[in-house]
A = this chain, B = another copy of it.
Amino acid sequence: MGRRQFLGVGLGLAALPVLGCGSLLSPALREAPGGETAPRARLRDLGIRIGSLTPGPHNAITDVPGVVVGHTTLIRGDGPLKVGVGPVRTGVTAVLAHQGDLTREPVFAADLTLNGNGEFTGLGPLRRTGRLGAPILLTDTESIGPVYDGAMGYLLELNPNLFSGPFRPEPVVGETSAGFLHDAGGRHVLPEHAVDAIRNARPGPVAEGNVGGGTGMRAYRFKAGIGTASRAADVSGVMYTTGVLVQANHGGRSHFTVQGVPVGTEIPDLLLEKGGGGNGKSLLAVIATDAPLLPVQLQALCKRATMGIARTGSISTRSSGDLMVAFSTAHRLPPTTSRHDIDAVHSGFDAIYQSVVEATEEAILNALTAASTMVGRDGNRIHALPLDRFVTVMRRYGRL
């Protein structure tokens, strides 16, 4: 009758029709469920290069060895909003530092708030210990509770005595608001959707745009959602990879710039339909690196993510929850061992900082170039960034 029941049967078996669970369509032609079919691309496919460093093989957070990403995408129904029925345009994205038991092998981590008008749970233990011991989950605002609950079930299954021990990680769940397209009040995300995203997480290419937690999101009033990018950096002869994944739902149209080019001013139409809807609200960024950094150093990476955000024109509006979490996969830290060795990079930070700035900027732009136009509740429509016009503008400013 209550939660246990559906958790009992639900682990791994979503009861509802779920589209695009962890799926990865070709970047050249992606279906746009709930919206329109239109060719989408990654930024680099358009010939635009951000910064000077080289991306990893997938230009994704999963280029950091061990890191896996999974999506549960919920797209269902059309037409007028009927609270509790739909339309549904949301989901859950999971980022795991590794596929082992995170509660017993946490990794160093830190977080930062650029503008705090949003939620990221589980940061208390993360800050005290400097360790991440749980999946990072991204979803819509109204779904924090069930996603937290699903992750809790997952953690307890891994480690039934988790909260008797000295290291007590809590689920790290962040949110941005999908209400313009989605029946947010209907609260269609269930605990098992979070568990599915975790269990479906895998290495390799990452689906972007209208997937997972990013399904109903927009940025600069264009359709956006999940985006990712990575960079390799040479630190005294050792190569380290740093990747960023964002759930982008922020910014006003006039703010939007690409390499300083005022794209938002040049493409002032294709605003949210129907009227209003306001600016997007929030931006979540997850930063992963295999450089052996301490928590104090990982927080510095979060700061560089804010600089990548700024480069896309954001002013981090008042109503935005612009939140960052960074972790290093270099060490799995047995929480009960009395002592162990940690390598810590002490120079060459600037190359890693540069990686984070560039990858964050490109991840946001990838979310915009990957996401297709989507129609949701009440026929509300968020247009995709029109790639042809975008390319024309960039060419006009000498950037292509």
Binding site for B on A (CB under 8 A): 1-8, 15, 52, 84, 113-122, 124-125, 127-130, 141-142, 144-153, 156, 160, 163-168, 170-171, 177, 179, 184-188, 190-191, 235-236, 238, 252, 254, 257-261, 278, 281, 292, 294-296, 300, 303-304, 306-311, 314-319, 321, 323, 333-350, 353-354, 357, 396-399
Q: Which residues of B contact A191 (CB under 8 A)?
A: 3, 145
Q: State whether B163 touches A141 (Cβ < 8 A).
A: yes
Cα A166 to Cα B320 with chains together (Å): 9
Q: State whether A278 touches B347 (Cβ < 8 A).
A: no
With A2-B15, A304-B315 known as contacts, the answer to whether A117 contacts B121 (CB < 8 A) is no
Q: State whether B8 touches A84 (Cβ < 8 A).
A: yes
Give, as a whole number of angstroms, the nearest-CB distance from A361 to chain B: 10
Q: State whether B124 touches A323 (Cβ < 8 A).
A: yes
Q: Which residues of B contact A307 (CB under 8 A)?
A: 306-307, 309-310, 314-316
**Among B316, B348, B353, contact of A303 (Cβ-Cβ < 8 Å):** B316
Give, as a whole number of angstroms, the nearest-CB distance from A293 to chain B: 10
Q: Which residues of B contact A164 (CB under 8 A)?
A: 177, 179, 278
Q: Which residues of B contact A311 (CB under 8 A)?
A: 260, 310-311
With A153-B187, A296-B295 known as contacts, the answer to whether A124 contacts B128 (CB < 8 A) is no
How often does this chain occur in the complex, in copies? Answer: 4
**Among B128, B314, B345, contact of A338 (Cβ-Cβ < 8 Å):** B345
Q: State whether A300 touches B156 (Cβ < 8 A).
A: no
With A145-B148, A170-B119, A315-B357 known as contacts, the answer to whether A292 contacts B339 (CB < 8 A) is yes
Q: State whether B168 touches A141 (Cβ < 8 A).
A: yes
Q: Which residues of B contact A167 (CB under 8 A)?
A: 319
A-B contact pairs, 13 of them (CB 8 A): A2-B190, A4-B187, A116-B128, A119-B122, A120-B124, A125-B321, A128-B300, A145-B146, A145-B171, A338-B348, A339-B344, A339-B345, A397-B398
Cα A171 to Cα B335 with chains together (Å): 30
Q: State whether A316 touches B335 (Cβ < 8 A).
A: no
Q: State whether A316 touches B128 (Cβ < 8 A).
A: no
Cα A142 to Cα B148 with chains together (Å): 10
